[in-house]
């Protein structure tokens, strides 16, 4: 049974099972894991996960894939959830996911990861296939083009444990961009992570402007208050968001 990937859903189906061994290694799979998979597609990865872990929650938006996933859905340790992963209450899944392992649809990869940092507190390890530029962005260093709000949030909540470039030929259809597998493990969330997240998002909302201007334009505080807060952490008012390292955003949020 053939099926055409839907570009509007960011679909690129895994077609080379050799990559599954790399995913398994980076995800450190064992028999007690409860895995959340976003975008199972044709179920190539889902089947491998089901063979090795206690339970798989597979979340799929595209109901036209139902015939391809029917046999997997009948397995006792696979639960198929139909819907938008950004809209479903993933924190209510039972049993509770402890790992997120996915070939993430390109158009939702970043928000899925960012929202899962605080939204899925039981997830201890992420192993995700994403566009190479997104993978690079997750762990970019300050003052680089790739560095942004996503970099800060991911690095405050996790540490990278693995990285593997992925050839375009492992997908059907082959994408027009490079991809990578990136794995990262949870570290304790900073106190009041939601507030820190608001500060980070406001800081990068006007990337070309100074940090006080960006925070003020986002409605978070006045320029004067931002300048005072920056001075308290040893930064001048002319600084831009991309110059601050992730830990500095913690102290900035506290100072504000």
Exposed / middle / buried, residue 74 (Cβ in 10 Å: 0-12, 13-18, 19+): exposed
Instruction: Note the pLDDT tens digit of each residue in 199-249.
Output: 999 999 998 899 999 999 999 999 999 999 999 999 999 999 999 999 999
Q: Which of 189, 188, 160 is nearest to 26 (CA)?
A: 160
Across the chain, what does the average pLDDT equal?
A: 92
- Integer Cα distance of 73 and 57 in angstroms: 10
Structure tokens at 29: 């799979």
Element spanning 225, H or E:
helix 223-232
SS3 state of residue 50: helix
Q: What is the DSSP letter of 43?
A: S
CATH number corresponding to 7-186: 3.40.50.150
Domain with CATH 1.10.8.100 in the chain: 193-255
Confidence of residue 30 (pLDDT cuts 50, 70, 90): very high
| Omega before 173 within 30 of 0, i.e. cis | yes
Token match 């920056």: residue?
Answer: 230
Q: What is the pLDDT of residue 18?
A: 79
Q: Where in the chain is the domain with CATH 3.40.50.150?
A: 7-186
How far apart (Å, rounded) are the C-alpha atoms in residues 68 and 48?
Answer: 15
pLDDT of residue 169: 78
Question: Per CATH, is 193-255 categorized as 1.10.10.10?
Answer: no
* CA-based nearest residue to 66, from 45, 36, 41: 41
CB contact set of 9 (below 8 Å; sequence gap of 6+): 61, 62, 105, 107
Check pLDDT > 50 for residue 8: no
pLDDT score of 11? 47
Residue 12: band (very low, low, confident or very high) from pLDDT cuts 50, 70, 90: low
Containing H/E element for 149?
A: helix 149-157
Q: What is the mean pLDDT of residues 61-70?
A: 92
């Amino acid at each position: 049974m053939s099926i055409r990937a839907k570009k509007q859903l960011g679909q690129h189906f895994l077609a080379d099972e050799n990559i599954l061994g790399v995913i398994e290694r980076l995800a450190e799979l064992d028999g007690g894991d409860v895995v959340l998979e976003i975008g199972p597609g044709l179920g190539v990865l889902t089947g491998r996960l089901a063979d090795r872990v206690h339970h798989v929650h597979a979340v799929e938006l595209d109901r036209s894939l139902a015939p391809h996933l029917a046999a997997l859905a009948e397995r006792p340790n696979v639960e198929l959830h139909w819907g938008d992963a950004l809209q479903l209450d993933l924190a209510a899944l039972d049993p509770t996911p402890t790992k997120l392992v996915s070939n993430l649809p390109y158009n939702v990869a970043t928000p899925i990861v960012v929202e899962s940092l605080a939204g899925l507190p039981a997830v201890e390890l992420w192993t995700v296939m994403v566009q190479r530029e997104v993978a690079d962005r997750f762990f970019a260093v300050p003052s680089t083009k790739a560095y942004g709000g996503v970099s800060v949030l991911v690095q405050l909540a996790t540490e990278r444990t693995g990285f593997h470039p992925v050839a375009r030929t492992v997908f059907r259809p082959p994408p027009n961009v490079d991809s990578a597998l990136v794995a990262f493990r949870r570290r304790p969330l900073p106190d009041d992570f939601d507030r820190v997240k608001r500060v980070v998002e406001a800081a990068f909302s006007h990337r070309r402007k100074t940090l006080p201007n960006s925070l003020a334009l986002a409605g978070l505080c006045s320029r004067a208050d931002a300048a005072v807060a920056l001075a308290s952490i040893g930064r001048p008012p002319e600084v831009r968001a991309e110059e601050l390292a992730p830990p500095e955003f913690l102290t900035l949020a506290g100072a504000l």
